[in-house]
Structure 1
Amino acid sequence: MTPPALQLQAITKRFGAVTANDGVDFELRRGEIHALLGENGAGKSTLMNMVYGMLTPDSGEIRVGGQAVKIGSPKQAMQHGIGMVFQHFMLIDVMTVAENVVLGDEPRRRGMLDEKAAVQRVQELSERHGLGVDPHALVQDITVGQQQRVEILRALDRGADILVLDEPTAVLTAQETAELITVLRGLRDRGTSIVFISHKLGEVREIADRVTVLRRGKTVGTVDVAGPNPPDEAALARLMVGRDVLLRVQKADCAPAAPLLDVKDLHVTDDRGLPSVDGVSLTVHGGEIVAVAGVDGNGQRELVEAICGLRTPDSGTITLDGKDVTGSDARAVRDAGLGHIAEDRQRSGLVLDFTLSENIALRDYDRHTRFGLLNLRRMLERATGLLGEYDVRGGTPRTPARSLSGGNQQKVVIAREISSEPQVLVAAQPTRGLDVGAIEFVHRRLVAERDAGRAVLLLSLELDEVRNLADRILVIFKGRIVGELPPTATEEQLGLLMLGGGSADGKKSLA
């Protein structure tokens, strides 16, 4: 009988008083895609970081091809044929695709990098595995989906036949996700064994052969999702969370009040000096959620940055609760009553080396001062309450933000922004990287903000989220609002507008 490609037996890992993995068992067969599913902080990434040599288990055994091994570094993991692609890529932007792939194992000629041989090697590898990427392109000039392919190529170039992907679709568009699934199926069919770490139930059911669920660091069970009777999303969610989860948002009809956010004829340029937002006008009333839907890269980021005081618009006006804040800085906009759940929690939402209590106090340090000095006790008390209320796992108020999983970092950002009780809340990709239980919680909080009379502007690439949460949907294409649709609109109607095709009835209902 052929031994499993990878087998973990009773793996335990502790960080002080926190047990991240508690006697976890896991088995990866040869030539299968095995999803590792669980809530944020369930221990998925920690478990695979031990497989890749980034961490050392406190107890338990790792077996590769039936043989017990000790893996003390990524180099040793690679020697055992294990490669890992992290959620946040580890590429050098100013280098080419070929240079990134061969880095550390460069073909040389007369002591120098043989660029021609490197390009040929990467080209052949790319064609063999169906990972079409231009070896000559600079990493900074290619899409996020292509950058992920470069990471996969680098692992395959090192001889990996076990590939671990940590939340691989968290930063991808729907189209890039579909392309990745096709690529992974091709790798599996050619014999590569793949661990697919995720919390997205639909993707897991679509791509995986089997699923192992972790809950609070323990193995809940392994189920076959490629067989004749696969579990539905509700059953997988129940395994993850330990209770029934509402997969659709329950909300009453909205009761719009006075306009709290009014944007008129806004024009914004991007970092390259090119037009990005082209005459956008929109209004969000108190007591409603307005969603902006569109394919990534159609001006959403620049629109949010202009509204939140992070980018100066070229022309147009932005009014918050009757106050003109056009061109104001982020602090002035915040003081005018705006909260901002940032799209990129690590770059814009948190100071990673600050503690959780310091990050939660970022918006309002003045509330935590006495005689000009920070009142640390008050900061800790507030953080303790919010971390419990928002179910942030993996740390205490004194824990550095970078120590948390991505999903728990996002919860910290959301806790800080919502607890400040802003009049207008701009939520950019608020559930990116969150598991199904956390998504349910965040959706409830956003609806609660709406019901409390606040204005919520939602920007999301997840059409299900847009349709579930929004009272009105605005579609953006090439920096322009090209139509308005109700939340009952079909994905086909939304998709047609998002690709610039006009509305299904030939008209565009504009805000």
Structure 2
Amino acid sequence: MTPPPVAPGTPPVLQLVGISKYFPGVIANEDVSLDVRSGEILALLGENGAGKSTLMNVVTGIYQADAGEMILDGYGARFSSPQEAIRARIGMVHQHFKLVPAFTVAENIHLGWADTPRNASPAILEARTRELSERFGFPVNPAARVEDLSAGEQQRVEILRVLARKARLLILDEPTAVLTPAEARDLFRALRAFRAEGNAVIIISHKLDEVMEISDRVTILRGGQKIGTWDTADCSPRMLAATMVGREIVRQNLLLRADGAAPRGTEAELSLRGVSVRDERGVETLADITLDIFGGEILGVAGVAGNGQRELTEVLTGLTIPTRGQVLLGGRSAEPGAAAFARHGVGHIPQDRLHSALAPSLGISDNMALREYGMPPIGGNGLYHADAALSLAREIADIAEVTIPDFAMPVRNLSGGNQQRLVARREIRIASRVLVAAYPSRGLDIGAIATMHRYFAELRDRGVGIVIVSEDLEELLNLSDRIGVLCHGRLMAVLDSAEADIERIGLLMGGRTDLPETGAETKI
């Protein structure tokens, strides 16, 4: 679907001229100028911390620019709040959703909306939501509670809430980070239809193949400054990656072990024996899982989102006690609880880093000490040594290559990618036996992904067992020694990665067991 023609002389939907935004000790944006035109999708790229989200927060009134001018449809504009931006028909869907989990889809859609009828019954709100869903092509269940929805379904609600308010400029921050490939295709289909009506879209993304597929032009930021804007047709993923980070990204074969690397263990570090889990409604989310994780190996876990990945990682890290079956650490029955697993050398990079791995309102130092606050030199005997916590936080930030101006500022003020880097390094510190990483590359730029993968390879070579859950099958094939596939909470098979391919894994993800004879399966 090609963009609609634009009449000569039509001003851009949005122009930014010389925008600058500073925080104490940090240049977030400096002299950034760009425009987005009617009927186009503009991709905004850059490394983590390059200033992409900050720039869009200026556009939507969350931040005020320290210098520069914003022009909307040819007229100067300045928003003192997101509500003013929404009234000007600019809507943003953030990387971390802003929904009320206990409310229904219909209630979230209508919350704070001037067009919401007074004293409307739930049935009326649901009917209005159903009509919006059909009009914009974002299928949702109006009566469902948000807390019961998958990440992809929640994103649809966020986008629908913005479109319902008649947005003509839609800003999406990492829109496919939590989507399955099928959900991403549905999203792109809806965005093309939105563009075809003469509207505009800005997408912040690190997925270069998707940028090449969906965008019309690309603007790249580096270090808070604009590097340039190009027609997507004139770009390639390699060129975009090199421009983003200022150097060529060299891809390494991470399946090759370093000289002197620890061999794969012969005794399992962490085992599940007939493990099943039921949720609070009595629905079985994991069914009879038997699995061994050995030191010195990377075990990948593939599956369509919502097929038991979260429950599996929570069982492996002590967050969930199985309804049935046994968890073994080092061959012995595991003491329940996440703290006990951490004491025994199990680290965890969870799926939702901001709310499951971090305390958003606490400072960075406190968050980096979360796993060690009860141990010397930070804690013990009822004491907490803030200077030791600060020293630890600085050490982690240096290793993670994250620049932090103030370690006392709330960790939620960091970009999502920098939060992920810090969580990863914090958990690697305690992972002497096993590291469980759920979607570790989400929200990271291509350079940071390469660094994260190197972390895993180094940890594997030290003899640690690593579990990586990912929807990116290429990532799993490039990293894993073995790949397990989940479908409806069942472990369909565990394949040697040398014998696996995307077709076989895809069939297992869909519940097929009649695989083509391209290689032998390993015993589970």
Q: Shared topology, TM-score over 0.5?
A: yes
User: Which residues in structure 2 correspond to 1:85-484 (within 5 Å)?
Assistant: 85-105=93-113, 111-113=118-120, 118-119=125-126, 121-225=128-232, 227=233, 230-247=234-251, 249-253=253-257, 255-258=263-266, 259-325=268-334, 328-365=336-373, 366-367=375-376, 368-369=378-379, 373-484=383-494
Change in 2 beyond 3 A, CA 1:54/1:341? same
- What SS does the corresponding residue of 1:278 show, helix, strand or coil? strand
Q: Compute the RMSD of aligned alpha carbons.
A: 2.2
Q: Distance in 2 between matches of 1:222 and 1:45?
A: 17
- What SS does the corresponding residue of 2:44 show, helix, strand or coil? strand
Q: Distance in 2 between matches of 1:22 and 1:448?
A: 37
- What SS does the corresponding residue of 2:372 show, helix, strand or coil? helix
Tell me the amino acid that sits aligned with residue 177 of structure 1: A
Cα shift at 1:41? 1.0
- What SS does the corresponding residue of 1:112 show, helix, strand or coil? coil
Q: Distance in 1 between matches of 2:431 and 2:207?
A: 30
C-alpha contact 2:274 2:325 (8 A) present in aligned 1: yes
Cα shift at 1:153? 2.2
Q: Distance in 2 between matches of 1:269 and 1:413?
A: 28
Aligned to 2:3: none
Tell me the amino acid that sits aligned with residue 208 of structure 1: S
Change in 2 beyond 3 A, CA 1:158/1:371? closer
For structure 2, the 5+ residue unaligned runs are: 1-8
- What SS does the corresponding residue of 1:276 show, helix, strand or coil? strand
C-alpha contact 1:249 1:443 (8 A) present in aligned 2: no
C-alpha contact 2:437 2:466 (8 A) present in aligned 1: yes
C-alpha contact 1:37 1:198 (8 A) present in aligned 2: yes
Which of 74, 77, 82 is matched with 1:69 structurally?
A: 77
Q: Distance in 1 between matches of 2:457 and 2:116?
A: 59
Q: Distance in 2 between matches of 1:104 and 1:481?
A: 44
Aligned to 1:26: 34
Q: Distance in 1 between matches of 2:174 and 2:15?
A: 21
Tell me the amino acid that sits aligned with residue 501 of structure 2: T
Greater displacement, 93-102 / 114-123 = 114-123
Which of 500, 510, 514 is matched with 1:499 structurally?
A: 510
Greater displacement, 114-123 / 373-382 = 114-123
For structure 1, the 5+ residue unaligned runs are: none
C-alpha contact 1:106 1:118 (8 A) present in aligned 2: no
Q: Distance in 1 between matches of 2:143 and 2:326?
A: 43
Q: Distance in 1 between matches of 2:127 and 2:430?
A: 55
TM-score, with normalisation over the residues of structure 2?
0.91
C-alpha contact 2:397 2:404 (8 A) present in aligned 1: no
Q: Distance in 2 between matches of 1:148 and 1:369?
A: 40
Cα shift at 1:397? 2.7
Tell me the amino acid that sits aligned with residue 4 of structure 1: P
Change in 2 beyond 3 A, CA 1:154/1:208? same
Q: Distance in 1 between matches of 2:87 and 2:115?
A: 19
C-alpha contact 2:495 2:522 (8 A) present in aligned 1: yes
Cα shift at 1:416? 0.7
Cα shift at 1:119? 4.9
Q: Distance in 2 between matches of 1:440 and 1:13?
A: 29
TM-score, with normalisation over the residues of structure 1?
0.93
C-alpha contact 2:255 2:481 (8 A) present in aligned 1: no
Q: Deviations 1:372-404 (Å, cap 9, x if unpaired)? A: 533322222222122011112454432321111
Q: Distance in 1 between matches of 2:116 and 2:220?
A: 45
Change in 2 beyond 3 A, CA 1:47/1:108? closer
Cα shift at 1:503? 5.0
Greater displacement, 164-173 / 150-159 = 150-159
Q: Deviations 1:452-502 (Å, cap 9, x if unpaired)? A: 111111112221211111011111112221112232422111100011111
Cα shift at 1:293? 1.1
Q: Distance in 2 between matches of 1:411 and 1:485?
A: 29
Tell me the amino acid that sits aligned with residue 361 of structure 1: A
Aligned to 2:496: 486
- What SS does the corresponding residue of 2:326 show, helix, strand or coil? strand
Tell me the matched-pair count: 506
Q: Distance in 2 between matches of 1:182 and 1:371?
A: 58
Greater displacement, 377-386 / 41-50 = 377-386
Q: Distance in 2 between matches of 1:329 and 1:413?
A: 19
Q: Distance in 2 between matches of 1:352 and 1:105?
A: 27
C-alpha contact 1:248 1:468 (8 A) present in aligned 2: no
